[in-house]
């Protein structure tokens, strides 16, 4: 075992010397790897797509307690992986475009890059445009999406779950970006107390909260465009959510 680990480390060092960026399933950071897996059970990728996405999102939620989003990678099985067949895979994505968009939305809103296992990221122009929309959204929000992550509500498959990225050092632009998901088959309404202490919001401070989903997003909430909210004594604001079945809602936060 010792020699195997040592040999693996030497292999990664050689790859880094040749300029490779390495996603590895183990923590060989001192030997040259760039990212490790966020943590998963390979059998989850044999589940039907929607069940699989809820469990994957809970994995992203739990894995980012111990690792920052930029240090880990996740997985999307475009083609069958182990068991599950077509019910578990996303290929062809044009036949499962809403589930595929949800996979993109949740990974990018967590700030985590997934490994997409399959023959391509799209099979039609419509899917290509959708992928382009989310990649462009991530690039436009890269600073806040790769900032510290606060865990708001763990995914349980029965109620709204979500997270918020925060950056108290921001001198301009967004100080937080929140993402919430509805895993159920019905519209859900809820009021979430959004924690903004680590975004630099003082008790009694005011923030401007704006819908942040990309234009043309398929499963986005019909939330109001912008509102000013006041933080309570714990630097939390009451955020009203109205999320369609299987959909999501995203919000950018700035100092008012």
Residues 116 and 51 occupy one common structural domain: yes
Q: Are strands 113-117 and 72-77 parallel, antiparallel or unpaired?
A: parallel
Q: Are 123 and 179 contained in the same domain? A: no
Same domain, 134 and 226: no
Show the domain range for 194.
148-255
Please check the confidence at residue 222 and state whether its pLDDT lies above 80: no
Under 8 Å between Cβ of 239 and 194: yes
* Residue 156 and residue 133 share a domain: no
Confidence at residue 23, expressed as pLDDT on a 0 to 100 scale = 87
| Structure-token pair, residue 38 | 């966020």
Our measurement of the distance from residue 96's CA atom to the centroid of its chain's CA atoms, rounded to an integer in Å, reads: 19
What total of structural domains would you count in the chain? 2
Question: Is pLDDT above 80 for 170?
Answer: yes
**To the nearest whole number, what is the mean pLDDT of the chain?**
93
Q: Is 5 within a domain? A: no
Residue 175 pLDDT exceeds 80? yes
Does the pLDDT at position 179 exceed 80? Answer: yes
| pLDDT confidence band for 223 (50 / 70 / 90) | low
> pLDDT digit string (tens) for 17-54?
999 998 888 878 888 888 888 987 888 999 999 999 99
Length of the chain counted residue by residue? 256
Among 104, 124, 140, the domain boundary falls at 140
Do the bridges between strand 35-37 and strand 72-77 make them parallel or antiparallel, or are there none, so unpaired?
A: parallel
Q: Is residue 128 domain-resident?
A: yes
CATH code, domain carrying 239 = 2.60.40.1180
Exposure on the CB side of residue 134, measured as CA atoms within 13 A: 28
Share of the chain above pLDDT 90, in %: 78
The pLDDT value recorded for residue 128 is 97
Domain termination residue (choose one: 107, 140, 173): 140
Residue 25 within a domain: no
Answer whether residue 249 is part of any domain: yes
- 26 inside domain: no
The band of 253, judged by pLDDT with boundaries at 50, 70 and 90, is very high
Q: Are residues 245 and 176 part of one domain? A: yes
Rounded to an integer, the average pLDDT of 61-70 is 94
Q: Are residues 168 and 81 in the same domain?
A: no
The CA-atom distances, in angstroms, between 78 and each of 21, 35, 90 are: 22, 21, 4
DSSP sequence for 2-21 = HHHHHHHHHHHHHHHHTT--
In a domain, 238, yes or no: yes
The three-class DSSP label of residue 209 is: strand
- Tell me whether residue 4 is in a domain: no
Cα–Cα distance measured from residue 50 to residue 44, given in angstroms and rounded to the nearest whole number: 11
Q: Are 159 and 123 in a shared domain?
A: no
Spell out where 62-119 has E strands. 72-77, 113-117
**Is residue 246 over pLDDT 90?**
yes
Q: What is the pLDDT of residues 115-133, one digit of tens each?
A: 999 999 999 999 999 999 9
> With 80 as the cut, is the pLDDT of residue 58 above it?
yes
Neighbours of 73 (CB within 10 A): 19
Last residue of a domain, one of 90, 112, 140: 140
Please tell me the predicted confidence (pLDDT) of residue 220. Answer: 82
């Amino acid at each position: 075992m010792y020699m195997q680990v040592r040999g693996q480390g030497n292999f990664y060092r050689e790859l880094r010397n040749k300029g490779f960026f390495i996603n590895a399933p183990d923590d060989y950071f001192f030997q040259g790897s760039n990212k490790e897996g966020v943590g998963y059970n390979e059998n989850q990728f044999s589940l039907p797509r929607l069940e699989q996405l809820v469990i994957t999102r809970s994995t992203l939620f739990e894995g980012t307690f111990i690792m920052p989003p930029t240090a880990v990678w996740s997985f999307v099985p475009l083609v069958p992986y182990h068991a599950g067949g077509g019910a578990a895979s996303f290929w062809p994505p044009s036949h499962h475009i809403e589930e595929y968009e949800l996979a993109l939305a949740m990974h990018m809103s967590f700030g985590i890059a997934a490994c997409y296992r399959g023959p391509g990221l799209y099979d039609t122009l419509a899917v290509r445009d959708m992928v382009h929309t989310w990649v462009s959204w991530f690039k436009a929000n890269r600073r806040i999406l790769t900032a510290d992550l606060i865990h708001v509500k763990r995914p349980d498959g029965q109620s709204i779950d979500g997270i918020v990225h925060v950056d108290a050092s921001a001198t301009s632009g967004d100080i937080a970006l929140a993402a919430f998901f509805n895993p159920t088959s019905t519209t859900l309404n809820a009021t979430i107390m959004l924690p903004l202490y680590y975004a630099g919001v003082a008790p009694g401070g005011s923030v401007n909260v704006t819908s942040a989903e990309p234009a043309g997003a398929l499963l986005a909430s019909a939330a109001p465009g912008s509102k000013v909210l006041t933080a309570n004594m714990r630097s939390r604001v009451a955020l009203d959510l109205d999320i369609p079945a299987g959909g999501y809602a995203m919000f950018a936060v700035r100092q008012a």
